[in-house]
Amino acid sequence: MRGSKVFQKIVSPKLVAVLIGALVLLGTSGLGMAVFGVFQGFTDHITQQISKDKRQFVDAESCTQWFYRQLKKKPPHPQVEMLSFPHSLLTQETHPCLSQYPNGLDGARAAFSRTQTSLSLSLNYYQFALVGDGNDDGEYNATELKDVLESFDMIFHEGDAPFEYVMVLNHKFDTVRQAIEFTVLTKGMGTLYGRGYRFTSADQAALSRILG
C-alpha cells in the first residue's frame, strides 16, 4: 500500500481537514480498535458520485421523455404567410435537450441507459460500504477495514494512516465505476456475507436517505 501512486492523487481540502482532524493510527489495542475517519471519507466520496449520477440520470430521463412527446405531436399545418420567415425561427431548436443530445431520441436513450447503470453501481457500492460497517457505529474498526480491503483482494497494513486507507478505497471505487465492473462488486459483497456481515435495518435507513 505504501508508495502507491494512488496516494499522490489530489484530495479536496475538506476531506483533508476531516481526515487530519480524525487521524488516529492503529495502536496496540488490536483489530477491534476503530480507524477513525475511514468510513466517513469512503462513504462521502461515494455519496458525492451518487449525487452526480442522480442529476445525470434525471436529465437523460427527462430529455428522453421530451423527445418521445415530440414524436407524438402532429406536425403543424403550414402557414403560407410565415414562409418568408427564417427557418430557424420555425424549428424551435432552442430546447436544451436538442443541444444536449444532437442525435435526438437515440442519444437521449443511450444516455438514459448509461446513467442508469452508473447510478445503480454507485448505489450498490454505497450498500457495500455500509455492510462493511458490521456494528453500524459509523466507523470501521481494524477488523472491518481488513475485511473490506480483503474482499477486493487488497492488503491490510496494520499501522497505516487512515487517509491512506481512504485514498486506496476511493481509488478502487473510481476504478470499478469507470469500468462498470459489477462482478468485482458482487464478489466483494459475497466475501463480506461469507464472513458474517449483513445488510441491516440501519444500513437500509442510510441508503434510503441517500435515495431521497
pLDDT in tens, 51-106: 999 999 999 999 999 999 998 876 655 554 444 444 443 345 688 999 999 999 99
Residue 84 in any domain: the answer is no
pLDDT in tens, 113-164: 999 999 999 999 999 999 999 999 999 999 999 999 999 999 999 889 999 9
Tell which wins on pLDDT, 83 or 172.
172
What domain range is 97 assigned to? Answer: 18-72+91-211
- The predicted structure's pLDDT at residue 24: 40
Residue 10 in any domain: the answer is no
Q: How many domains are contained in the chain?
A: 1
- Residue 155: strand, helix, or coil: coil
Residue 80 in any domain: the answer is no
pTM of the model: 0.77
Residue 138 in any domain: the answer is yes
In whole angstroms, give the CA distance from residue 54 to residue 208: 14
- The predicted structure's pLDDT at residue 80: 46
Q: Which three cell numbers mark 41?
A: 471519507
Residue 163 in any domain: the answer is yes
- Amino acid (1-letter code) at residue 26: L
- The predicted structure's pLDDT at residue 31: 59
- The predicted structure's pLDDT at residue 73: 78
Tell which wins on pLDDT, 54 or 11.
54
Length, in residues, of the chain: 212
Residue 68 in any domain: the answer is yes
Residue 9 in any domain: the answer is no
Residue 109 in any domain: the answer is yes
Helix-strand-coil percent breakdown of the chain, rounded to 5?
Answer: 65, 0, 35
